[in-house]
Structure formats: C-alpha cells, structure tokens
Chain A
Amino acid sequence: MTCAKYRSVALATVALIGLPALAQETQEQSPPDPQTAALLERIEQLEAELADLRGVVLQSTETASKAEAAAQDAVDRIAEVQDQASPAPSYAVSPGMPDTKWHLAGYADVGFVGGDTPGPDSFVSGKFNPALHFQYKDFLLFEGEFEYATTGDGKTESELEYSQIDLVLNDHAVLVVGKYLSPIGQFQERLHPSWINKVQGAPAGFGHDGVQPTSDTGVQLRGSIPAGSTRLTYALAVGNGPRTTSEGGVELMGMGSDDNSNKSVGGRVGFFPMPALEVGGSYLTARVDGIMNPDMPVPSGSGLPLDARFQLWGVDAAYTKGPLAARFEYLKSERGKLFTVTDEEPDGVLLPDLEMEAWYGQLSYRLSGFSDSEIIHRLEPVVRYGEFSISGHPELEEENAQNRLNAGLNYWLAPTIVAKAGLEWRDYTVPGVPDETLIQFQLGYGF
C-alpha cells in the first residue's frame, strides 16, 4: 500500500468516528427550539406548584394531628366520666339498650251479634285490652293488662286482668308474683285474646261462670326443663284461690285478698312428644268457705259443712303445623257439700255436691297453599264443638249447661288483624230451655 492510500484511510477513519461527536457537540451548544423551551418552562412551573402543595400538606397534617389529639382527649374524658358514674354491671347485656325498656301491647275487638236469640240483634263494642310491659335489664318484667268494655246499658266495665312481676331466676325458672292469668289449661292463659282466638268467644265452660279459672292472686314458679331431645314445661302456683259466690257457685278469679286462710295449690305440666304437639295436665285444689250471715251465725257443733274441698283437673293437647291447628281441652271440677248463705236463702242452705265438666275440640286450617289468589290465601275455616255440663246447681245448669257448635270463616288482613264471620248453635241441655242460633261478626286487632 502507498503513503497516499494510508493517508486516505486515516482521514476516512477520523471522519467516521469524529463527525458524529462533532455533530452532537454542535447540537448541545445550539439554542433550544421553541417547543423544547416551552416544555422546559412548563416543567419549571410544575416544580413550583409542587413545592407550594408540599407546604399546604405539611400545614394540614399538623392541623389533623392537633384535632386527633383533641378528640382522643375527649374520648378518654368521656370514658373516665362513665366509669366514675356507673360501672357496667356484669349482667348488663344488649349494649346500647337502656336499663328500663317498655312495650305497649294488647288487643281490641268490635263486632255484631244477631240471630235466633232472646235479645235483639246488636252491634257490640267489644273489648279494649291495653297491656303494658316494663322490663328492668334482663331479669325483671312487670306486666299488667286492663279490660274495658261497654255494657248493654252504656256503662263502662273495667277489670284488671292481671298485674304481675316476673323475676327471671335462671334459664329454667321464673318467679311470678301478683295477679296472674290462671295457668290451668291453655285457653285462658294463651288463646283467649280476640286476635288469637279463632272463634268469636270462649268455648262453653271456658269463660266467665265456667269451670275454667280465669285468674288468681299469689305466686307462681314456672319455666322449662330440658328432657332429652325435648322439654317439660311447668307452672306451679299458690294463690288465694276460689271463693263461694252469693248464688252458691264457685268464683274462680283472682281475689285481692283471701276469704279464708286456705290457699289454692295447683298448676300445669306440659310436654312435647314432637315439636308440633304439646300435651298438658292441670290440677288445682283448695277449700272454699260458705258465706256466713253475721246476724244469724251457725252454732258450732251443728255438724253442717262450713267449708268444702274444691278440686279441678284437666288435660289439653294442641297440634300446630303450618296452616293446621287442632286443639282439645278437658276440665272437670268438684266441690263437696257446703252450708252457705245465698241471695235466695239468706238464712243459709245446705248445697249438694257440685260438679262441672267442660271440653272442646277445635280445628282450623289456613288456605295459604290452596291457590295463588291473595284472597283465598288469607282465608281460614274453623270449626269447634264443645260440651259443658253442671250438676248440683239447677240455676247454673239451666243458664249454662249446653252443647255448642261453632262454624266460621276468618279472613286475615294482617298477621294480627282478623275479620271473623261465624255461626254458633247453642243446644241447652236442660229440658225447656230454648236453643239459640247466633250469627257473629268480629274484627279483632292485636297490637
């Protein structure tokens, strides 16, 4: 190779390597184009704004820290005051609930009664039964219920149905003290409110002047005891007990005081052979005194029975599953011979043994599964048959002894609002007493 060639190759190599570097240096040293300049200016503005924002955030963080500290101080102070004022008892439950809670409940009904009866067809005002419940924490409940009704002559009747204090002793026992609904059987204690009762009235013998005690005043121990896969329920009661009436019958309602020193003892035990079936047995025993005429006291040693044993027993069963409810109750009472003053015998009379017996069976079925119709879905046919017999008291027997059949159709406007239409046939068992056929309508509301 010649020197000229070597020179040419060297120049070419220098040109290839050096020109790009030269070009780059030339670009860096040249002023930016307008677009690049604008971008650089924008970047500078953003950096300035970011610095400002940093300052604002720092200020906000300081403010939030101060507020958080103040709030924590307040929370600590509130907790301190609460601890000093009322330390929470160990049995206080349901956080957020006050110690005393209350609930206004009850029921009311209105209606119409007509048909083949001695009296005229009438609208009836029915009953209004407000009930108040006051509960202290979870171990004490006061409950009371009034009954208001308008009589045929426009006066207002009022009665204290029950007024009792319930003390929850443990999971299996509650102590009830006061005037309470009779625990005998099922109807009086659980089924008589008009929004629960499928028929307009009580079965024969299970209302006033019947064999069913309505209430008593005393003390009850009641509750539930596990028994294998099922349970036993119990209600044991000691009360003032029944009293002889001025007609010579037996008054089975809660008296404010006792007319003798003898207390009634009784109650009910229930059992569930299967979840849908409840069976029970009831018993009550007491002594009742005859009414004495203070102007003509019975001489001692006369041999006349001045008091008598009163006993009552019964069984009940209820099968409730879905739309079906079948019920049965039986009660029988006996009172021995008794010397007493009556309205008709002011000088006293020796009354014979008194026996009363009543039972009923009832079947109802809600047509909820029969149709898609909303109307049929709310219908509930019901039929009830019962008998009430009395021996040893002709006047009571003539007035009350009967076989009674009820057939009705209920329409439920809501779970606690029912419109009832029904027929009641009363077949009085004393010869000569005319039978009656009643047409009954009732609207009952439980609240």
Chain B
Amino acid sequence: MKSCIIPAFTLAAILLTGGSAAIAQSVSQSAPEETPATESAAETDPMQIVRGAKAWNETCSRCHNLRSPSELTDEEWDVSVTHMRVRGNLPASDVRDILAFLQASNNQ
C-alpha cells in the first residue's frame, strides 16, 4: 500500500526544500534577470518591443485569440503575463519581451 511513499515524499521534499533554497537564491542573486525592462525598453533595448510583438503573436495564439493590448493597464498586464508564464511554461525572456510590448502598446 505504501510502497510509493518514500519516492513520492523524496520528490516532494526535493521540490520543497530545493524550491525554498532556490527562492532565496533567486531573490538575492538572479532577481535582476527577472527585471522586465519595461522601465525603459525603448531606451535600453529598442528591439525588445519588436521581439515582444513576435513572441506575443507566436506564443499566446497557441491556445487562444490575441487580446488587444489596450484591454488592460500596465499593472494588469504585469499580473496577467505572470499568470500566463506559469500556465503556459513560457520562457522568462519571452515573458519580459511580451510584457514590454504590451505595456508599450496599450496607450495607458
């Protein structure tokens, strides 16, 4: 009955402990990677918006129609894109590019 307990809990423990450690590490070290460069996308990397438009078209339309960028505010896009990053297992680089494009295109 419990033959799978040990491997299952081992995996869960690895995920939880490894995850917690990685969280701390990511916050302190790799967090700059998370910077979605929206603050000055056009200034620091003008091509980011172009890449974002391409990734937006390719990635989002895999599951659903493309929402207009003007549907949401900058803050709402920030949250919505994070949600879709998790749901769609999107690469972080694509997520940053898509967010920069949406926030630059929503006229808000």
Chain B residues closer than 8 Å to A117, beta-carbon distance:
none
Q: Do B36 and A93 touch across chains, with their CB atoms under 8 A apart?
A: yes
Q: Do B83 and A238 touch across chains, with their CB atoms under 8 A apart?
A: no
The B10-28 residues at the A interface (CB cut-off 8 A) are: 11-12, 15-16, 19, 22-23, 25-28
Q: Which partner residue on chain B sits nearest A380 by CB separation?
A: B65
Q: Which partner residue on chain A sits nearest B89 by CB separation?
A: A233
- How many B residues face the partner with a CB closer than 8 A? 55
Q: Do B72 and A261 touch across chains, with their CB atoms under 8 A apart?
A: no
Q: Which partner residue on chain A sits nearest B55 by CB separation?
A: A275
Q: Do B86 and A141 touch across chains, with their CB atoms under 8 A apart?
A: yes
Quick one: CB contact mask for B22-40 with A, threshold 8 Å, 1 for yes?
1101111011111110110
Q: Does A172 contact B (CB under 8 A)?
A: yes
Chain-B contact segment, one of A132-140, A149-157, A428-436: A132-140
Q: Does B43 contact A (CB under 8 A)?
A: no
The B28-58 residues at the A interface (CB cut-off 8 A) are: 28, 30-36, 38-39, 58
Q: Does A170 contact B (CB under 8 A)?
A: yes
Give CA–CA (A141, B36) in the complex, Å: 16
Q: Does A36 contact B (CB under 8 A)?
A: no
Quick one: CB contact mask for A232-264 with B, threshold 8 Å, 1 for yes?
011110100000000000000000000011111
A170-B22, A222-B86, A416-B67 known; A133 vs B79 contact (CB < 8 Å): yes
Q: Does A176 contact B (CB under 8 A)?
A: yes
Q: Which partner residue on chain B sits nearest A91 by CB separation?
A: B31
Category for how many chain A residues contact B: 35 or more
Expressed in whole angstroms, the minimum distance between the Cβ of A55 and any Cβ of chain B is 45
Give CA–CA (A260, B8) in the complex, Å: 13
Chain A residues closer than 8 Å to B88, beta-carbon distance:
190
Q: Does A224 contact B (CB under 8 A)?
A: yes
The A391-447 residues at the B interface (CB cut-off 8 A) are: 412, 415-416, 446
The secondary-structure label for the interface of chain A is: strand
Q: Does A108 contact B (CB under 8 A)?
A: no
Give CA–CA (A97, B76) in the complex, Å: 10
Give CA–CA (A226, B11) in the complex, Å: 23
Q: Which partner residue on chain B sits nearest A104 by CB separation?
A: B76
Q: Do B86 and A171 touch across chains, with their CB atoms under 8 A apart?
A: no
Q: Does A350 contact B (CB under 8 A)?
A: no
Q: Do B91 and A224 touch across chains, with their CB atoms under 8 A apart?
A: yes
Expressed in whole angstroms, the minimum distance between the Cβ of A117 and any Cβ of chain B is 30
- Report the tally of A-B residue pairs with Cβ distances under 8 A: 177
Chain B residues closer than 8 Å to A133, beta-carbon distance:
79-80, 82-83
Q: Do B79 and A169 touch across chains, with their CB atoms under 8 A apart?
A: no
Give CA–CA (A428, B91) in the complex, Å: 43
Q: Do B76 and A103 touch across chains, with their CB atoms under 8 A apart?
A: yes
Give CA–CA (A168, B23) in the complex, Å: 7
Q: Do A167 and B23 touch across chains, with their CB atoms under 8 A apart?
A: yes
Expressed in whole angstroms, the minimum distance between the Cβ of B101 and any Cβ of chain A is 14
Q: Do B72 and A262 touch across chains, with their CB atoms under 8 A apart?
A: no
Chain A residues closer than 8 Å to B87, beta-carbon distance:
189-190
Q: Do A195 and B64 touch across chains, with their CB atoms under 8 A apart?
A: yes
Q: Do B32 and A91 touch across chains, with their CB atoms under 8 A apart?
A: yes
Q: Does A218 contact B (CB under 8 A)?
A: yes
Task: From the candidates A226, A238, A415, name the one contacting B12 in the complex (CB within 8 A).
Answer: A238
Q: Does A278 contact B (CB under 8 A)?
A: yes
Give CA–CA (A278, B62) in the complex, Å: 9
Chain A residues closer than 8 Å to B80, beta-carbon distance:
103, 105, 133
Give CA–CA (A190, B80) in the complex, Å: 14
Task: From the candidates B8, B11, B12, B34, name the one contacting A93 in the complex (CB within 8 A).
Answer: B34
Q: Do A98 and B65 touch across chains, with their CB atoms under 8 A apart?
A: no
A141-B86, A415-B66 known; A94 vs B2 contact (CB < 8 Å): no
Q: Which partner residue on chain A sits nearest B93 by CB separation?
A: A171
Quick one: CB contact mask for B62-78 with A, threshold 8 Å, 1 for yes?
11111110001011101
A275-B58, A287-B3 known; A138 vs B82 contact (CB < 8 Å): yes
Expressed in whole angstroms, the minimum distance between the Cβ of A329 and any Cβ of chain B is 13
Chain B residues closer than 8 Å to A222, beta-carbon distance:
86, 89
11 contacts between A and B (CB under 8 A): A95-B39, A138-B34, A139-B23, A143-B86, A170-B25, A224-B92, A238-B15, A261-B1, A262-B2, A264-B8, A276-B58
* A-B contact sample (16 more), CB < 8 A, given A138-B31, A143-B83, A236-B11: A90-B28, A91-B34, A94-B38, A133-B79, A141-B79, A170-B33, A170-B92, A171-B30, A190-B88, A234-B89, A261-B1, A262-B2, A263-B9, A263-B12, A265-B11, A306-B1
Interface residues in chain B, defined as those with a beta carbon under 8 Å from any beta carbon in chain A? 1-5, 7-9, 11-12, 15-16, 19, 22-23, 25-28, 30-36, 38-39, 58, 61-68, 72, 74-76, 78-80, 82-83, 85-93
